[in-house]
A and B are shown apart, each in its own frame.
Chain A
Amino acid sequence: MGKGVAITGMGMISAIGKNVTENYRSLISEKMGISRISHIDTIHKNEIMVGEISATNAALEKQLGLPENSWSRTALIGAIAAKEAVTHASITEMNDCRTGLVSGTTVGGMDKSEQYFYQYFEDDSEWHHINGLHAGDSTQKIAHSLGLEESFSTTISTACSSAANAIMLGARMIRSGQLDRVIVGGTDSLSKFTINGFKTLMILSDTYNTPFDENRKGLNLGEAAAYLVLESDSLIEKEGKKVLGYVKGYGNANDAFHQTASSENGDGAVLAMKKALQVAGLTPEEIDYVNAHGTATPNNDLSEGRAMLRVFDGKVPEFSSTKAFTGHTLATAGAVEAVYSLLALQHNTIYPNLNFKTPMTEFDLMPQTKLKNKELRTVLSNSFGFGGNCTTLLFSKNA
């Protein structure tokens, strides 16, 4: 089975850094990005903590050279991260080969829509945001800011596995020869919509999230955008490009259990991990580190823990969730953690699962709690979402 798909660039913005370098620095210095919310005025502000990007919309717009209040925050952070990835991949001419863009998002332009929901009918000052609500609009804007034209550009929305699925589709399109190059990832900004939605589901922690801990109280919502550039072998050869790592395997399965909860034994997660291993032609023993979904909700961590025990037959390799750093960045989580997995491979570093104190009673699983150096060849990254959507990606140093 399969040779991996080469990754030549990455870019991201999150609560722990405005670019890839800053994110890595925060990860290895155990700097969390979780705080009280500052950019959104919500009545829940004293009961929740979030992983918020510090820059204001005005600052992001300035960075992109846009007039004030022209785009949704989702599109703004998306364009910034995608541009970083493209620059990192040393792409100067976007349309010189069959290039695509696949982006994941759940909120799209909801941040603006909820703000001007009634105002639209009072005056025309914010009408430019009306058509920005739909999810594809953020992707179109990112494509435009990258100068991508006459191309395959699409959007995936499978809740919290959206960006992981975008990476998977991109890898499949390169492998099947449909595209020569594809920018893949996702973007989601915080909004009252998601804050209140998760609040009604009663899965928001009122303090720092604690993945895989017995006393975990739920998740912290976060916001982020992250993108990778994938390129075909022939393009890499032609341009003599440096390869950062490979998308070695991918698996998507549906838990088919409940719209918002994972099955008790993580059936969908098991299937996704097994499929990814199969695509990569790897055995579970060949996985050196698992970057878990680990949202710190009671349901996810139990279900994912059981699924890992099943896939690795009780011998789970070092694993950690980086959600304690960034919060749960929803659609983007899979892309954020793809970048972190690649950085882990590059630096042979396993990140600590912060805030962990007490092992869960249901099983004997201890996440990695201290920064650890270890030779890494293959990293497994999980992303699970509402609608039973389970996606696993495998990243490797070698093709």
Chain B
Amino acid sequence: MKPVYINSVGSVSAQKTYDNDDFLEEIMTYNDTILRVIDPDYKAHIPPAAARRMAKGIKMSTVSAKTALKEAGLENVDAIIVGTGLGCIGDSEKFVSAIIDNKEQFLTPTRFIQSSHNTVAGQIAISLGCNGYNYTYVHSAISFESCLVDALVQIRNEEANHILVGGVDEIVAHHVDTHRLINHIKSEPVSTEHLLQSNTAGCVMAEGAHFFVLSNQKKETTYAELTAVTTYNTLSRDKLTEKTIDFLSQNGETLENIDLIILGNNGDDGFDSYYGILSDGIFKNTPQAYYKHLSGEFDTASAFGFWLAAKILRGGTIPKAVQLNQIKAKKPMNILLYNQYRGENHSLVLLKRC
């Protein structure tokens, strides 16, 4: 099978990740129930006049996508595939409230246009002049993984050479306020260090934009090889171990070959038990890492996990802040990522050093 390489990364998150030379050297700590991104210098990437009208999701994505393209040394790509749980939800909320408050009068189109889930992918295509394949996946916690599934098929079938894939979500008031009502967001602040000991329902909700260039050609900038991705709409706790072992064996890997497992624990005491099944079970003796105490939770937060895995495979070191257990890792060769949200939309992703 044709190898698929991760040739570059771009990240805007609640950590200082926008600079690719840095790798979680300074950890931003929080004590909150929601996190916002550390804003990069948007002006350096977007003309101020344009930035004023832009939804935050577009701004974050523009910086993140440009960072990834620049690092990969590409002016254009064959395909753009974006994942987002909610798109530019801030514009959607403003448009809906304007409809209600103004009784369907005096509305302007900008909010509506930016509400279209594929706005980010469309804007990137326009800015690059990219006439290629252009998709947007909007499926909760596997929005980003759907992009990876698609990109893998394209590169392996020689339908594309270079693909820009990304995940983006923004955090906005009405969404937060309503999800607090149903306890999807924690009611009490939790500190970064103690997220997994909160023993409370819900997550610390956040936002972010992560982009990557996947390619059929290995380059100096290559971070890692993406070898496999799978997703499950449902998965019971009883079946998780079996499915994970099946996934590894279908892709020619064994448990022993996994040097690091990166888990999507978000501190929700109702659902973190899924991760516990793997971390206390078949991966008990495997080095483990987690990241949502740094990134927060959002539909495409798993793209932060993917970014983390890529950085670890290229640099060979696992930042102390993400270590979940005390088992010392050697220079990792194979990393497995597992994520789910509220017991649905599970994903397994396998990356390899190259």
Residues of A within 8 A of B (CB): 42-44, 101, 105-106, 108, 110, 113-114, 117-118, 120-121, 124, 127, 130-131, 133-137, 139-140, 143, 148-159, 165, 169, 172-173, 176, 178, 192-193, 196-197, 199-201, 252-260, 267-268, 271, 385-389
Contact = CB atoms under 8 A, between A and B. Distances in A.
B27 interface: no
B131 A158 contact: no
Contacts of B104: 42-44, 192, 196
B237 interface: no
A260 B116 CA distance: 10
A70 B109 CA distance: 31
A110 B179 CA distance: 15
Contacts of B239: 150
Contacts of B231: 152-154
Contacts of A150: 232-235, 239, 243
B131 A124 contact: no
B174 A259 contact: no
A184 to B, nearest CB: 14
Interface of B: 80, 85-87, 92, 95-97, 99-100, 103-105, 107-109, 112-113, 115-119, 121-123, 125-126, 128-140, 142-143, 146, 149-150, 153, 156-157, 174-175, 177-179, 181-182, 184, 230-235, 239, 243, 299, 344-345
Given A150-B234, A254-B130, A387-B116, A156 B156 contact: no
Contacts of B230: 152
16 contacts: A43-B105, A114-B96, A117-B96, A121-B181, A152-B149, A156-B138, A158-B134, A192-B99, A201-B113, A253-B132, A257-B126, A258-B126, A259-B113, A387-B122, A387-B123, A389-B122
Contacts of A108: 138
B187 to A, nearest CB: 15
Contact of A200 (B100, B109, B128): B109
Describe A's contact surface by its main secondary structure. mixed
A136 to B, nearest CB: 4
Contacts of B103: 43
Nearest to A260: B113
Given A158-B135, A252-B133, A386 B118 contact: yes
A120 B118 contact: no
Contacts of A133: 86, 175
A34 B232 CA distance: 40
B137 A254 contact: no
A44 B105 CA distance: 10
Contact of A120 (B97, B107, B109, B181): B181
A148 B116 contact: no
Nearest to B119: A387
Contacts of A254: 80, 122, 125, 130-134
Contacts of B117: 106, 135, 157-159
Contacts of B126: 256-259, 388
Contact of A130 (B96, B97, B182, B235): B182
A176 B130 contact: no
A252 B139 contact: no
The 10 closest A-B pairs by CB, nearest first: A387-B122, A197-B112, A157-B117, A153-B233, A136-B139, A254-B134, A200-B109, A387-B118, A135-B138, A136-B140
Nearest to A201: B109
Nearest to B157: A176
Most chain A C-beta atoms within 10 Å of own C-beta, residue among B96, B100, B230: B96
B181 A267 contact: no
A196 B99 CA distance: 8
Given A42-B104, A150-B243, A157 B182 contact: no
Given A159-B118, A253-B132, A259-B119, A137 B140 contact: yes
A66 B250 CA distance: 39
Contacts of B122: 254, 259, 386-389
B84 to A, nearest CB: 8
Contact of B179 (A105, A114, A130, A154): A130
B153 A172 contact: yes
A71 B292 CA distance: 31
A385 B299 CA distance: 24
Given A193-B95, A388-B125, A252 B181 contact: no
Contact of A201 (B80, B112, B143, B345): B112
A334 to B, nearest CB: 13
A154 B137 contact: yes
A106 B131 CA distance: 22
Given A130-B182, A152-B230, 15 more contacts: A42-B104, A106-B117, A114-B100, A117-B174, A120-B178, A120-B181, A131-B179, A140-B345, A176-B153, A199-B107, A253-B132, A259-B113, A387-B123, A388-B126, A388-B134
Given A201-B109, A385-B118, A387-B125, A156 B135 contact: yes
